[in-house]
Structures are given as structure tokens and as C-alpha cells.
Amino acid sequence: MFSSACLIFNPVAGQSDSEQDLSEIKRHLEPHLNLEIQFTTEEISAQQLAREALERNAECLIASGGDGTVSQVAGVLAESDVPLGIIARGTANAFANALNIPQNIEDACKTILGGKRRVVDLGKCAGKTMTLLAGVGVEAELVEDADREAKDRLGMLAYFFSAFKQLQKFEIFQATLETDDQIIEVDAAAITVANVAPASSILAQGPAGIVMDDGLFDVTIIAPTNRRSAVAASYHLLQSAIHEDGAERDDIGYLRTQRIKITTHPPQKVVLDGEIIGETPIELECIPRKLAVIVPDKFSSEQPQKLEGLPGLKIQSKSSESVDKSQTEKNESNIDVLILDYRITD
């Protein structure tokens, strides 16, 4: 596949001994590759190192760190056909998990040496590249709440505990979601726009089985009416992810779209790939098949749109009149209007 690679290594990622990690990586890769190693520092980002590696005509870039390191390298590779290898050493490792890339170093190295190239989608938002997801409302509060100390002590449990806590003190906001062919008005506590999301990203699991190479975002809307329903909704989303079944609750909705604009009242914080980037309104676009990643296997799943039951819901087709679901029964004709299939293939 390639005879050389540049390893971009974040020495402060995760909770393990970085020197031991690097020694193990070298032991597995150097007998098979001409391996160049570059280290991130407070002054030198993974993004800068990736750009410099491309200028040196690197055949493959390997990102070793957490999701932040992987996202920075992926953003640079989006403009090339150079593949990305991943050795995940962070807390969440969401991108690696979603792609079934092994979490232990030996198997991750084996994947890089003998895996397959898979081309996945990327997102664009506010001039930035999105590998994972963008969140409005609870998702942004979750990121701020899951502090470094808790993540070091509890690992992924820190995100679960934070999600449950934030949903229990949720605040409802008015949101307008504009896609290519709909304008949706709804009262919500959280809106998550996912390009890639493993089961651990529970607020993105409305459709479950998120497809990462279909040219579409998976949008999940969470609209609990009280604290009890908020906890029940988060548990239901976790079950949806585990069983890869779309959520079936009136306070959870989802859809698929290539482009979306989200406006809220009042303005809400926005998180993009784990970083707070500002407030609503935001516009996002899915860029189909933009990043080549080395993965061990392949999987796919599809789910339709499901919005009915959300409080304060109004949907306006761009070719028809508005439908006010808060004032109508869930009869067969209404479901025909609302259950639209966005399964678009390349």
C-alpha cells in the first residue's frame, strides 16, 4: 500500500505512558515502514505538522492521539488523496470507534499495515472541517462539563455522566432547521448534526447505525418535556445505539440531509468536534467521500426520517404548505407527510 509514513504523535493524549506507547508503535511499524515521527507541542499543532508532511510528499499520515489530534490531521488530508492511519490514544476516541479501528496499539498498527482504504464524508461548518459532529444546546454544555480531571479519572464514563446530568437540567429553546427541501420549527433541548458518531455519542443516536459515506448528515433532535423524560430519552438513545434501531419516542426526532441551517431563540452554544466555536445560527454542509482512512472492515446501515411527536413541531415543505403537528392527530396521512426517506447513495 505504501512504504513510508509520517507519524504525528501527541505525547499528552490520554492516560497511558506516552513513551511506552511510542516504543510499542515503533516496534510494530518500523520493521515494515520508513517511519518519520513528529511530535505535537503547545506551540506546534497536529494541523501544522500534517501540512508540513504533505509538503514533503508523505505517502501516509498516522495520527496518534485523541479525537482532537485525529480531527486536525483529517482536516489537512481532506484536500489530498493521502490516507489517514489512526492509533487512538485519547479518552473518547470517537472517530476510531465509529470506524471499528482497534483501540489497542498492536491491532491498530496491524490495521495500518494490512487494512483497507475507506473513503468517508466530512462536514464543513463556519469555515472549519468537521469529522465527527456538531451540537447545539445540551451537547455543547456536555463538552464544557466533562472536565479534564473527570475524563482522566473516569474515561468515557465522564461523557455519559455529563450527558445524563445536562439532560436533567435541560432548557428548551425554539429552533428552526432549514434543509434543502424542508423548514422545520420545533422546541428542543439538544440538536446534534453527525457525520460520524459511535455509540458513545449518545445525543447523536436518534437514527442509530450512522452511515459515514452516504453524503448525508444524521440529525438528532431531543425535546424532553420534563426531567423524567430527559433521563428516559438519554437511556433510549443509548439502547438505540447498542441495537442499531432508530429511536421510537415522541421526544426524539431525526432526519438526514446534506445541508442544514440551524437558527435558535435564544442563541445557543455550538460545539464542533469537541470544541466550542460560538453560537447559533450555524450552517453545515456534508462533503461526500472526502477523506481516505485505513480501516479493518466495512459496515453500513440506513434509517429513514422520524420527526412526528416532537413538541411544537411544524414542518414546511419547500414545495407545499406548512404542517402543524402540535394540533393534529398522528393518523396515516400525517405520517405519510412526515416520514420521508433520505437514503441517497453515491
pLDDT of amino acid 282: 97
How many folded domains does the chain comprise? 2
65, 180: one domain: no
219, 186: one domain: yes
Cis peptide, bond prior to residue 281, ω within 30 of zero? yes
Residue 343 lies in a domain: no
pLDDT of amino acid 344: 31
Last residue of a domain, one of 53, 88, 114: 114
pLDDT of amino acid 162: 60
Residue 250 lies in a domain: yes
255, 160: one domain: yes
207, 307: one domain: yes
165, 49: one domain: no
Residue 216 lies in a domain: yes
Residue 346 lies in a domain: no
137, 82: one domain: no
Distance CA 89, CA 91 (A): 7
- Tell me the CATH number at 26: 3.40.50.10330
C-alpha cell at 73: 490531521
154, 203: one domain: yes
97, 192: one domain: no
In sequence order, what are the beta bridge partners of 282?
262
pLDDT of amino acid 25: 98
pTM confidence score = 0.78
Last residue of a domain, one of 56, 79, 114: 114
323, 218: one domain: yes
216, 259: one domain: yes
pLDDT of amino acid 91: 80
Distance CA 312, CA 38 (A): 52
205, 85: one domain: no
Residue 121 lies in a domain: no
Residue 273 lies in a domain: yes
C-alpha cell at 53: 508532511
List C-alpha distances in Å: 124 to 48, 94, 211, 269.
19, 18, 17, 17
pLDDT of amino acid 202: 78
Instruction: Domain of residue 189: give its range.
Output: 128-288+299-338
Distance CA 233, CA 77 (A): 37
Residue 276 lies in a domain: yes
- Tell me the CATH number at 206: 2.60.200.40
pLDDT of amino acid 327: 42
List C-alpha distances in Å: 109 to 27, 120, 197.
10, 20, 22
Residue 293 lies in a domain: no
Last residue of a domain, one of 86, 114, 142: 114
Distance CA 287, CA 138 (A): 26
Tens of pLDDT, residue by residue, the chain (346 residues): 789 999 999 999 988 899 999 999 999 999 999 999 999 999 999 999 999 999 999 999 999 999 889 999 999 999 899 999 999 998 888 899 989 999 999 999 999 999 999 999 999 998 899 999 999 988 776 666 555 545 555 455 555 556 666 666 678 999 999 999 999 999 999 999 999 988 778 788 888 778 899 999 999 999 988 888 887 887 788 787 777 778 888 899 999 999 999 999 999 999 998 888 999 999 999 999 999 999 996 544 444 566 777 777 887 877 655 555 444 444 333 333 333 333 333 3
Length of the chain: 346
151, 100: one domain: no
List C-alpha distances in Å: 274 to 87, 131, 176, 184, 295.
19, 10, 23, 26, 23
